[in-house]
Structure 1
Amino acid sequence: MTSPQEKTILSHVGGSEGSVLPITGHKLNGNNFPQWSQSVMMYVCGKGKDDYLTGEITAPAKEDPKFKTWKAENMMVMSWFVNSMTTEVGENFMFYATTKEMWDAARETYSDNENTSELIEIKGILHDLRQGEMSVTQYFNILTCHWQQLDMFKTSVWDTPGDAEKYRKIVEKERI
């Protein structure tokens, strides 16, 4: 029998007792952090639990009546993470105390926004990509996917809003 607290937690998860629903089709495998982190963030934000990622919600004192709820929700989000990773990757994240620690460790371990070889690989794919037998929609979707991957490598800081607009136009022209 499910307790009222378990029913509340299960309703937040979107499942029922005994069901394990994947939160994303992108399991973190060590090579797909940008896609995984974006899909996990969408899910966690959609469930209203993104404050656990950012650390805006911190653990109350153990004596505080809110501690039990914080602990249950923190563990729930942590389980979402582990279940969205391959077994090999997930084993490395089993013993963190908070969602924020887990999220930061995953980013530190697998995020490499300056991975030059990956950047060159994506640009090479885009350079060689031809529509061929693909429909216009298929071709555009593949282009867009690779453009979004390139965009993840860009972490520019602009002196003026005009600089950002000029850069956007350069990127747009390059893509055309």
Structure 2
Amino acid sequence: MATLKISLPPESKPLAIEFSSAPITCHRLNGKNYLLRYQSVRIFICGHGKDGFLSGEALCPPSKDPKSRTWNSENCMVMSLLINSMTTKIGENFLLYRIAKEIWDSARDTYTSKDNTSELFAIECRLQDLRQREYSVTDFFNTLTRLWKQLDLFEVYEWECPADGDRFRGIVEQRWIFRFLSSLNPSLDDVRGRILGTKPLPSLRGVFSVVRQEESRRKIMLITTDFSSSVDASALAAQ
């Protein structure tokens, strides 16, 4: 049986091997998740130093330039990554594009505003109804944080003064702290009161750490109490 061999230019082989060693993204573009897919793909490509193909800064050298072959190989590799980060039906629409930047810009223009409102509304509704209930403190905090980060993708502001941006982020973090504390189970009322009485308030991560430690302490106390009760019961039975 004959074996098909694909030869890559020597300079492009490290790139192919490097890209093939890790998944592109778990958020494949389906028409409704552009922002999540955009962020995860951008991180992947920038992490491999090929963001110039998305911004257009990596210009194609003249055809007679020895570097043109390398550029073409890397451009095709990034194009392949972008198309593979889409569902099959959507990716088929981008197969005839010439450069990676065209695919990147076209996907943005086509899907960046489509259904964003409904997606934002769905996240807000989930946050509104979310309570700790059966979640551990860690799982509950991670769920909240993931939803908040998704909201951040929708809220892009350009601040004339960097200090205003820092102040706004501080206000948002304080709201997140109140939201986290207000959604905890009643069994954690004591630690919630202690945190709210702290001046100034700790950071969001600091608040989480305090609450998690309290949850761990309660679990240890419960195990110790149950163990003591079982020992006492065994002693009585022996008597």
Kindly provide the amino acid, as one letter, of the partner of residue 146 in structure 2.
C
Matched, 1:14 2:17: yes
Structure 1 stretches (4+) deviating beyond 6 angstroms? none
**RMSD of aligned residue pairs (Cα, Å):** 2.4
In the other structure, the counterpart of 1:39 is 40
**Distance (whole Å) between structure 1 residues aligned to residue 16 and residue 121 of structure 2:** 39
Contact conserved, 2:83 with 2:94, CA < 8 A, in 1?
yes
- Residue pair 2:32, 2:114 contacting (<8 A) in 1 also: no
Match of 2:145 in 1: 144
CA distance in 2, matches of 1:51, 1:157: 23
Aligned-pair CA distance for 1:113: 8.9
Any residues of structure 2 matched to 1:10-159 within 5 Å, and which? 10-14=13-17, 22-112=23-113, 115-159=116-160
Q: 1:71 to 1:171 in 2, by over 3 A?
A: same
Higher relative contact order structure (alpha carbons within 8 Å, sequence separation ≥ 6): 1
Query: Which amino acid letter does the alignment assign opposite residue 66 of structure 2?
Result: P
Question: 1:5 and 2:9 equivalent?
Answer: yes
Amino acid at match of 1:36: R
AA in 2 matched with 1:163: D
Query: Relative to 1, partners in 2 of residues 1:110 and 1:14: Cα closer, same or farther, differing over 3 Å?
Result: same
Alpha-carbon offset, residue 4 of structure 1:
6.9
Partner of 2:188: none
Q: Render the CA deviation track for 1:29-51: whole Å, top value 9, x for unaligned.
A: 11111111111112111221111
Same amino acid, percent of matched pairs = 48
AA partner of residue 130 (structure 2): L
Instruction: Give the helix-richer structure, 1 or 2.
Output: 2
Contiguous gaps of at least 5 residues in structure 1: none
Task: Return the letter of the residue paired with 2:13.
Answer: L
Query: Which string of whole-angstrom CA distances, capped at 9 and with x for unpartnered residues, describes residues 138-171 of structure 1?
Result: 1111111110111112122324333223312221
- The SS at the match of 1:158 is coil
Matched-pair contact (CA < 8 Å) for 1:52–1:100 = yes
Residues 78 and 99, structure 1, Cα contact 8 Å, conserved in 2 = yes
User: Which has more radius of gyration?
Assistant: 2
Contact kept, 8 Å, 2:32 with 2:115, in 1: the verdict is: no
- Point out where structure 2 has 5 or more consecutive residues left out of the alignment: 178-239
8 Å contact 2:32–2:116 — kept in the other structure? no
Question: Residues 88 and 3 from structure 1, CA distance in 2 versus in 1: closer, same or farther, beyond 3 angstroms?
Answer: closer
User: Which residue of structure 1 lines up, in the alignment, with residue 182 of structure 2?
Assistant: none
Question: Relative to structure 1, is the Cα distance of residues 94 and 154 closer, same or farther in structure 2, using a 3 angstrom cutoff?
Answer: same
User: Which whole-Å CA distance do the structure 2 matches of 1:163 and 1:146 have between them?
Assistant: 24
| AA matched with 2:15 | H
CA contact (8 A) 1:22 1:84 kept: no
Q: 1:164 to 1:21 in 2, by over 3 A?
A: closer
Give the C-alpha shift of residue 108 in structure 1.
1.0
**SS of the residue 2:157 aligns to:** coil
The CA deviation string for residues 83-131 of structure 1, in whole angstroms up to 9 with x for no partner, is 1111011011111111111111111111129933322221111111011
Q: TM-score, normalised by structure 2?
A: 0.65
